[in-house]
Amino acid sequence: MLKKRRQFISGLAAIGGSYLLSACGGGGGDDSGNSTGSAVADAKAHAAASASGTTIPSASSITDSSGAVWTLSGGAVYRNGAKAGNTSNVTLIIYYGTTVYCKGSGGQFYSWNGSGWIACLDPRMGGTSAEGTTLPASPYIIDRLNTVWTLVNGVVYRNGATVGNTYNVSLVLWYGGKVWLRGTGGQFYVNVDVRSVAAQWLPASDPRIAAAPAAGMFYGVNGHYDYTYTPTQLVSLLKGMGCTSYRVGCTRDQNQINAVVKIAQAFQSAGLKLLVLINQGVTNASGQLYPNEVAAYQDNMAGAKKVAAALAPYGVTMYECGNELTRQNATVIDFSYAGALAVDFNNTNWPIMRGAMRGMMDGVKSVQPSAKCGINFCVADIGAADALWEGMQPDGTSGHQPLRWDITTWHNYAAYGDIFAIGSDGKGPTFDLPTYCKARYGVPFMITEWNTGPSETETSRASYITSQLSEFYAARKSHNIQSVMYYVLDSGDNTYGIMNNGSPISQPYSAFTAFASAHPDN
């Protein structure tokens, strides 16, 4: 199950910022003088700094925290009498915080970084808007890209330009790292990504509305059909950990089915939930890519039907239809892509993946109409999820059969970033992925694999388990999180597993069981 884990680095590049300049005359004076005299000079320079918010005009000059004097003459900015970078047509200089800003005649602001000017917003606007900011109650929204959203006569604007085709908009909302709008009819839409031209706004529910799934399977763990543990031992191990759900993979292979049937029988009598991963996908039994969507659909349907028919009598009602299918060589363009855009995925092979997923879901439903089927995604793959849900191709063409699943499942390893603040392009800006999925798809959310890296120490893994469970638990009733399944019960070593050959790996095991014991699944 563990494939092609990629490192994604989150974070925004700071705009503007602090800088260090020579305190005496701005020219890098001799540092060999009396240190006491230098300290006095520094103190005088800092004492003389202009108040934050001072502007030219109306002031004739600004003194910054290093003692440098800024002036405006002939539309150019001067620092200690020398031109500060290449400026012209400057209409305003602002000293805000400890940074100097200027504004050109066209209205664009720039911040001084110590050696040059960087484009930015008016610092007086306040930076990224507070969670829940709305228009028209506020005059504008600033997102995490430092862009400004406004609402004028029912039309949404971003930095003064329209964003897609909007009209009769009654509300614009900043929530979970995304911009949402509501029409006069009450329907919400989310701005998927300003880079996504084909699907700029997609329908959603109000993301502020809390959603709580049924309790009873929040704490879960992954395992394998070929463990040496007996089903009875598995039941005992899970109950000892405080787990009520277990994810296990299975193909149409009869030996695998027989093994999972025995687990299902034991779990049914013990009152534990089994999520069966139907471990099929875009390739056939020989490992060859299916030639087309129809072939992928038919073969996957047959396999899923066989699995569900065998397990239905033993209380299995949930199936995950495929494992990381959006992260195969045939499906993703580049494994370094975060998946926030549909164009991150292979347009040619997309129908094969869609056919495989549809086939598995239809195969399960053909023998268990009431069963719940999940589709699995990784990293920030909302580009794939949205395209499947809306019946679109990565190239933006529409009209294909939409894929509508019963459970959204996701994998979130430490390298991918915090799932509640995950980078939309591998770097940023971040958004709350479970909130997005809750509002977009309206079905329960499961994190069916999560862990840190295999090289981490026991202490580090224990700390990660506690911090992640704390986040997941706090959000379970607001973000529609039904289950979080740790990967894995036993990896055969001390890398991913929480046990090894029946013996708990001390610190990770203690962290998990202590949290589950203290935080009931209610």
Mean of pLDDT values over 24-48: 42
Residue pair 485/446 in contact (Cβ under 8 Å)? The answer is yes
Identify the band that residue 40 occupies on the pLDDT scale cut at 50, 70 and 90.
very low
Which of 424, 421, 433, 302 has the alpha carbon at shortest distance from 358? 302
Are residue 84 and residue 146 in the same domain, yes or no? no
How do residues 429-442 score in pLDDT, each as one tens digit? 899 999 999 999 99
Identify the band that residue 25 occupies on the pLDDT scale cut at 50, 70 and 90.
very low
Residue 110 has pLDDT above 70, yes or no: yes
Are residue 103 and residue 175 in the same domain, yes or no? no
Distances in whole angstroms, Cα of residue 304 to Cα of each of 356, 365, 487, 519:
10, 9, 23, 36
**Per-residue pLDDT, 199:** 73
Determine the Cα–Cα distance for residues 430 and 421; give it in Å rounded to an integer: 5
Residue 332 has pLDDT above 50, yes or no: yes
Place of tokens 């277990």: 246
Are residue 372 and residue 227 in the same domain, yes or no? yes
Q: Any idea what the CATH number is for the domain that residue 305 is in?
A: 3.20.20.80
Domain finish residue from 180, 204, 228: 204
Identify the band that residue 194 occupies on the pLDDT scale cut at 50, 70 and 90.
confident
How do residues 488-504 score in pLDDT, each as one tens digit? 999 999 999 999 999 99
**Per-residue pLDDT, 157:** 97
What are the start-end ranges of the H helices in 243-370? 254-270, 293-311, 350-367
Determine the Cα–Cα distance for residues 2 and 500; give it in Å rounded to an integer: 18
**Per-residue pLDDT, 46:** 53
Determine the Cα–Cα distance for residues 143 and 504; give it in Å rounded to an integer: 45
Determine the Cα–Cα distance for residues 435 and 475; give it in Å rounded to an integer: 10
Alpha-carbon 142 to chain mean position: 19
**Per-residue pLDDT, 2:** 42
Phi-psi region of 282 (alpha: psi -120 to 50; beta: other; left: phi over 0): alpha
Position 212 in a domain: no
Are residue 361 and residue 491 in the same domain, yes or no? yes
Are residue 89 and residue 225 in the same domain, yes or no? no
Alpha-carbon 441 to chain mean position: 16
Are residue 294 and residue 427 in the same domain, yes or no? yes
What are the start-end ranges of the H helices in 166-253? 231-241
How do residues 374-416 score in pLDDT, each as one tens digit? 999 999 999 999 999 999 999 999 999 999 999 999 999 999 9
How do residues 443-454 score in pLDDT, each as one tens digit? 999 999 999 999
Q: How many structural domains does the chain have?
A: 3
Position 2 in a domain: no
Task: Report the predicted TM-score, pTM, of the whole model to 2 decimal places.
Answer: 0.86
Residue pair 273/217 in contact (Cβ under 8 Å)? The answer is yes
Identify the band that residue 428 occupies on the pLDDT scale cut at 50, 70 and 90.
low
Who's near 321: CB < 8 A, 6+ residues apart? 278, 304, 357, 360, 361, 364, 373, 374, 375, 376, 405
Identify the band that residue 426 occupies on the pLDDT scale cut at 50, 70 and 90.
low
Domain finish residue from 142, 169, 204: 204
Q: How many Cβ atoms sit within 10 Å of the Cβ of residue 27?
A: 10
Residue pair 400/391 in contact (Cβ under 8 Å)? The answer is yes
Cis peptide bond upstream of 57, omega within 30: yes
Residue 348 has pLDDT above 50, yes or no: yes
Residue 26 has pLDDT above 70, yes or no: no
Q: Which domain holds residue 308?
A: 219-518
Which of 475, 473, 412 has the alpha carbon at shortest distance from 447? 412
Position 211 in a domain: no
Q: Any idea what the CATH number is for the domain that residue 50 is in?
A: 2.40.10
Determine the Cα–Cα distance for residues 313 and 451; give it in Å rounded to an integer: 32
How do residues 124-176 score in pLDDT, each as one tens digit? 999 999 999 999 999 999 999 889 999 999 999 999 999 999 999 999 999 99
Position 11 in a domain: no
Give percent above pLDDT 70 in the chain: 90
Residue 32 has pLDDT above 90, yes or no: no
Position 318 in a domain: yes
Average pLDDT of the chain? Answer: 91
Residue 29 has pLDDT above 50, yes or no: no
Determine the Cα–Cα distance for residues 435 and 440; give it in Å rounded to an integer: 8
Are residue 333 and residue 445 in the same domain, yes or no? yes
Position 145 in a domain: yes
**Per-residue pLDDT, 196:** 76
Are residue 285 and residue 199 in the same domain, yes or no? no
**Per-residue pLDDT, 125:** 94
Domain finish residue from 158, 181, 204: 204
Are residue 474 and residue 327 in the same domain, yes or no? yes
Are residue 85 and residue 187 in the same domain, yes or no? no
What are the start-end ranges of the H helices in 125-168? none
Are residue 491 and residue 427 in the same domain, yes or no? yes
Position 251 in a domain: yes
Identify the band that residue 28 occupies on the pLDDT scale cut at 50, 70 and 90.
very low
User: Lowest mean pLDDT: which of 18-32, 65-79, 223-237?
Assistant: 18-32
Identify the band that residue 48 occupies on the pLDDT scale cut at 50, 70 and 90.
confident
* Residue of 363 and 10 predicted with greater confidence: 363
What are the start-end ranges of the H helices in 312-381? 350-367
Position 16 in a domain: no
How do residues 506-516 score in pLDDT, each as one tens digit? 999 999 999 99
Are residue 99 and residue 57 in the same domain, yes or no? yes
